[in-house]
């Protein structure tokens, strides 16, 4: 089999991989992309995108159930689970086709198969255990992503105990659900199934839900979820599962006591592990730490010419982080001037539950731990005219500033469409804006975004509408 030469080979066609391939092609590099399953990766096919389609269905269903509050009438409100899932899968397929189009448009050569390192500057591609191609390039980017973590006693079986994949394509809506893990994945599924009518119990090992968020936002979220009827157990651990024909009984230790919870289905959302197996790392200088490849600020591994990006390279496990790494990594390889290392404190995090949660930068607690004297501003959505008009007044915007310099250290939001609003604060962090620039910025009225302005004003005792 003849060896095919490229300037860059990317292994993995998820958000990091396909963006890396596009940027490399834009810079004039002859680029190959190897993908063993679906272009777009987990994010596009089984994560970010299809879950948002499911959550949109839940949002519309919720609004239909509360039509009377808007002076409307909707009788016999119901849903068809198969159609809900079909729409979600259709959205994913449309975007997968879009990525394929982008590969053609940018003249990226796509290899359908499993890629693995096969010596210095070489990649072997196989499909169904048969050799497909041998590729060579001076630079290789590993973007193989990650998969759901499986813990002893909570192993997914595809029927009663689900990962995100089974949770996305249920044959029917379960009447009761136990969600283990309250990070973004667990809470989004908990929110979806609760809105669709399931009795939902969430188990979190740490002392609060959404543990990476600001403590005040986590507490607000818990109250909102419990108001919706979710049962939440924090500081809790699943000690065992007993399976019946169509249900599971979990033994849960919490607060020095043991309780049993029976549910039709269990979703395991206890983290992810990097896909480091069978990609040819053996015999290389690539270092793996707790299933993730160790990289430097330019995404380079210990092996010359080999780079790693995205979930494979560790937290934060976000598609937009992978895309950002893809661009900086490729531009560094290509010798583009002015490339900056990634600052994770300028990467926003979003959770698309109801109410939505979004944040960027340091939490109040973390800012204090780092020695900052802080000024904190807060503004509730109940004080916002647009939120009242929308009937979406449950929420809070919180800002954290350095009291001495006025630097915006962090921003934390919970409420309607805050996953869209957070980008305003992200730009402010990127531009190193201070309270002066933010207070001097004109926000359009009436918009939900005004809560962002008011939260800044409040940090300096100047809030206007509350």
Catalytic residue positions, numbered: 445
Cα radius of gyration rounded to whole Å, the chain? 24
Pairing type for strands 130-142 and 3-11 reads: parallel
Nearest to 137 by CA among 333, 341, 337: 333
Q: Is 223 left (phi over 0), alpha (psi -120 to 50) or beta?
A: alpha
* Start-end of H helices in 176-288: 184-195, 215-227
Residue pair 281/288 in contact by the 8 Å Cβ criterion = yes
Angle in degrees, 0-180, between the axes of helices 184-195 and 215-227, rounded to the nearest 10: 20
Pairing type for strands 31-35 and 109-112 reads: parallel
Instruction: Show the tokens assigned to 193.
Output: 């199934």
* 393 backbone dihedrals φ, ψ, rounded to 5°: -100, 0
Please enumerate in sequence order all residues whose Cβ is within 8 A of that of 464, keeping only pairs 6 or more positions apart, or say none.
Answer: 454, 457
* 158 backbone dihedrals φ, ψ, rounded to 5°: 80, -10
**Could you give the 3-state DSSP secondary structure of residue 352?**
coil
Establish how many alpha carbons lie within 13 A of residue 292's alpha carbon, considering only the half-sphere containing its beta carbon: 20
What is the distance between the alpha carbons of residues 403 and 107, in angstroms, rounded to a whole number?
Answer: 51
Residue listed under structure tokens 């095919």: 4
User: 102 to each of 40, 58, 136, 191, how far by Cα in Å?
Assistant: 11, 31, 23, 33
């Amino acid at each position: 089999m003849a060896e095919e030469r490229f300037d860059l080979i990317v292994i993995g066609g998820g958000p990091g991989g396909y963006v890396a391939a596009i940027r490399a092609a834009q810079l004039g590099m002859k680029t190959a992309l190897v993908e063993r399953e679906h272009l777009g990766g987990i994010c596009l096919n089984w994560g970010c995108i299809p879950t948002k389609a499911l959550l949109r269905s839940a949002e519309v269903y919720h609004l239909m159930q509360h039509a009377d509050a808007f002076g409307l009438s909707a009788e016999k409100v119901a849903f068809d689970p198969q159609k809900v899932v079909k729409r979600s899968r259709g959205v994913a397929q449309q975007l997968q086709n879009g990525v394929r189009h982008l590969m053609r448009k940018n003249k990226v050569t796509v290899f359908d198969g499993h890629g693995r390192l096969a010596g210095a500057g070489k990649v072997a591609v196989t499909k169904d255990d048969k050799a497909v191609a041998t590729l060579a390039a001076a630079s290789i980017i590993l973007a193989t992503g990650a998969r759901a973590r499986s813990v002893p006693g909570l192993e997914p079986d595809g029927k009663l105990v689900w990962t995100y994949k089974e949770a996305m394509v249920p044959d029917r809506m379960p009447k009761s659900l136990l969600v283990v893990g309250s990070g973004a994945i667990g809470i989004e599924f908990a929110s979806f199934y609760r809105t669709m009518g399931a009795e939902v119990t969430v188990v979190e090992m740490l002392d609060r839900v959404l543990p990476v968020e600001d403590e005040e936002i986590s507490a607000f979220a818990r109250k909102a979820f419990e108001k919706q009827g979710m049962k939440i157990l924090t500081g809790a651990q699943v000690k065992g599962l007993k399976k019946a024909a169509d249900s599971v009984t979990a033994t849960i230790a919490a607060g020095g006591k043991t309780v049993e919870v029976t549910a039709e289905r269990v979703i395991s959302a206890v983290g992810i592990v990097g896909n480091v197996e069978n990609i040819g790392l053996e015999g290389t200088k690539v270092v793996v730490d707790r299933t993730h490849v160790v990289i430097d600020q330019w995404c380079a591994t210990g092996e010359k010419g080999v780079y790693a990006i995205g979930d494979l390279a560790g937290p934060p496990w976000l598609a937009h982080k992978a895309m950002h790494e893809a661009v900086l990594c490729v531009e560094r390889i290509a010798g583009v001037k002015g490339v900056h290392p990634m600052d994770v404190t300028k990467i926003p995090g979003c959770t698309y539950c109801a109410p939505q949660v979004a944040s960027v930068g340091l939490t109040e607690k973390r800012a204090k731990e780092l020695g900052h004297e802080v000024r904190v501003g807060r503004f509730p959505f109940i004080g916002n005219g647009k939120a009242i008009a929308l009937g979406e007044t449950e929420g809070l915007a919180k800002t954290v500033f350095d009291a001495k310099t006025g630097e915006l250290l962090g921003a934390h939001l919970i409420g309607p469409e805050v996953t869209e609003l957070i980008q305003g604060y992200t730009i402010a962090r990127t531009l190193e804006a201070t309270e002066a620039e933010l207070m001097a910025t004109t926000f359009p009225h009436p918009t939900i975004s005004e809560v962002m302005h008011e939260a800044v004003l409040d940090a300096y005792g100047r809030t206007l509408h509350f």
